[in-house]
Amino acid sequence: MTKKYFTALANYNIWADNLSIEWLNQINDEQWERPIESSFNSIRATATHIVSAKKIWIDFWTKAPNPVYLSSKFKGSKNELIEIWRNASADLKNFIENFPEDDYEKPITFNYPNGREGQMIFWQTFPHFVNHATYHRGQLVTLLRQAGFTKFSNTDLANYFMVQNSL
């Protein structure tokens, strides 16, 4: 694993997140809150989970004091969540650009939502971060379709690389 590769994955993740944010900006409050059967019970709950996971991993990596799972306490609006999401994207880019490649083999200590402590090597946590976001963005697409939204664009990693190579 190299900084170049992790930077490419971080840039992909931010690009895909920005597309997802564009979709969320186009739906109304009823679609945002509508109960839908899935892992999480609404577009709102799914988006909150995505943002919460991003924020908490960045907090774990930076050893932020008292990291909190946003999904356990967030009561704000769609626009407030989108702002947190945009800030987490900026924090991710800054972190990856400045995190020393020599530290990729160092352990990262984290807490599960139930309070149990875990530990993984950094280079294992970052691909998990990207994979987790991709998984839940896929769920978001399904939920948005069920809510009547169909103006999607492809957020696949291969599509990202093709778009980047054509610039």
Known binding-site residue numbers for a divalent metal cation? 49, 132, 136
DSSP at 156: -
Shortest CA distance to 90 belongs to which of 9, 6, 11? 11
Spatial separation of the C-alpha atoms in residues 21 and 38, rounded to whole Å = 20
* Contacting residues for 97 by C-beta, under 8 A, at least 6 apart: 7
Quick one: 119 exposed, middle or buried, by C-beta within 10 A (0-12, 13-18, 19+)? exposed
88-95 long-range contacts, CB within 8 A, separation 24+? 88/51, 88/54, 88/55, 88/58, 89/13, 89/14, 89/17, 89/18, 89/54, 91/58, 92/10, 92/13, 92/14, 92/54, 92/58, 93/10, 93/11, 93/14, 95/58, 95/61, 95/62
Q: Give the residue numbers of the binding site.
A: 49, 132, 136
